[in-house]
A and B are shown apart, each in its own frame.
Chain A
Amino acid sequence: MNKQKLTELASVIRSKNSGPYELTFDIIFPDRAKFDLAVHSGVFVPELFARLYQVPLENVLGVVVYPPALAIKATILRPVVAGAVGDTDVYGAQQHGPLLDILV
Chain B
Amino acid sequence: MKTLTVLSPTAILGYGFPVDSFQEGLKCNPDVIAVDAGSVDPGPYYLGAGVSFTDRAAVKRDLTLILTAARERGIPVFVGSAGGAGAKPHLDWTVEIIEEIAQEKDLSFKMAVIAADIDKDVLLKRLGSTEPLGPLPTLDAERVLASPHIVAQMGWEPFARAYREGADVIVAGRAYDPAVFAALAMEKGFDPGPALHMGKILECAAIAADPGSGRDCMVGILEEQGFRLFPTNPARRCTVRSVAAHSLYEKSNPWLLPGPGGLLDLRDVVYEQLDERTVRVTGSRHVHGEGEAYRIKLEGARPVGYRTLAIAGIRDPLMIKQLNEILEQVKAAAMDNFGTLGGRLNFLAYGLNGVMGALEPVSQAAHEVGLVIDAVADSQEAANTLCSFCRSTLLHYGYPGRVSTAGNLALPYSPSDIKAGPVFEFSIHHLLTTEPEEFFKPVVYQVGRKQG
On A, residues with C-beta under 8 Å from B are 12, 16-22, 24, 26, 28, 52-55, 61-62, 64, 66, 68-71, 73, 75, 77, 79-91, 94-95, 97-98
Q: Shortest distance in angstroms between A10's beta carbon and chain B's nearest beta carbon?
A: 12
User: How many Å lie between the Cα of A79 and that of B348 in the bound state?
Assistant: 15
Q: Which residues of A contact B241 (CB under 8 A)?
A: 69-70
User: How many Å lie between the Cα of A85 and that of B305 in the bound state?
Assistant: 10
- Could you tell me which residues of chain B, from 354 to 398, have a CB within 8 Å of some CB in chain A? 354-359, 361-362, 374, 376
Q: Which residues of B contact A66 (CB under 8 A)?
A: 244, 247-248, 254-255
Given contacts A17-B41, A83-B424, A90-B41, contact A24 B250 (CB under 8 A): yes
- Could you tell me which residues of chain B, from 288 to 315, have a CB within 8 Å of some CB in chain A? 304-305
User: How many Å lie between the Cα of A20 and that of B427 in the bound state?
Assistant: 11
Partner of A83, one of B240, B247, B425: B425
Q: Which residues of B contact A98 (CB under 8 A)?
A: 359, 361
On B, residues with C-beta under 8 Å from A are 40-45, 133-136, 240-241, 244-245, 247-255, 269, 271, 304-305, 344, 346, 348, 354-359, 361-362, 374, 376, 423-426, 429
By Cβ-Cβ distance, the 8 closest A-B pairs, closest first, are A83-B43, A68-B244, A69-B245, A21-B134, A69-B244, A75-B252, A88-B357, A18-B252
CB <8 Å contact, B426 and A71: no
Query: Residue on B with the closest CB to A19?
Result: B134
Q: Shortest distance in angstroms between A11's beta carbon and chain B's nearest beta carbon?
A: 9
User: What are 25 A-B contacts defined by CB distance under 8 Å?
Assistant: A18-B250, A19-B40, A20-B426, A21-B136, A21-B429, A24-B248, A24-B250, A24-B251, A53-B361, A64-B255, A68-B247, A68-B271, A73-B254, A83-B42, A84-B426, A85-B305, A85-B374, A86-B344, A86-B346, A87-B357, A88-B348, A88-B355, A91-B42, A97-B362, A98-B359
Q: Which residues of A contact B133 (CB under 8 A)?
A: 19
Query: Residue on A with the closest CB to B305?
Result: A85
Q: Which residues of A contact B348 (CB under 8 A)?
A: 88
Q: Which residues of B contact A86 (CB under 8 A)?
A: 344, 346, 357
Q: Which residues of A contact B358 (CB under 8 A)?
A: 54, 79-80
User: How many Å lie between the Cα of A90 and that of B252 in the bound state?
Assistant: 17
Q: Which residues of B contact A12 (CB under 8 A)?
A: 245
Q: Which residues of A contact B41 (CB under 8 A)?
A: 17, 82, 90-91
Q: Shortest distance in angstroms between B191's beta carbon and chain A's nearest beta carbon?
A: 20
User: How many Å lie between the Cα of A26 and that of B249 in the bound state?
Assistant: 8
Q: A20-B44, A22-B134, A77-B135 are in contact. List 9 more A-B contacts (CB 8 A).
A: A18-B250, A73-B252, A83-B44, A85-B344, A85-B374, A88-B356, A89-B355, A97-B356, A98-B359
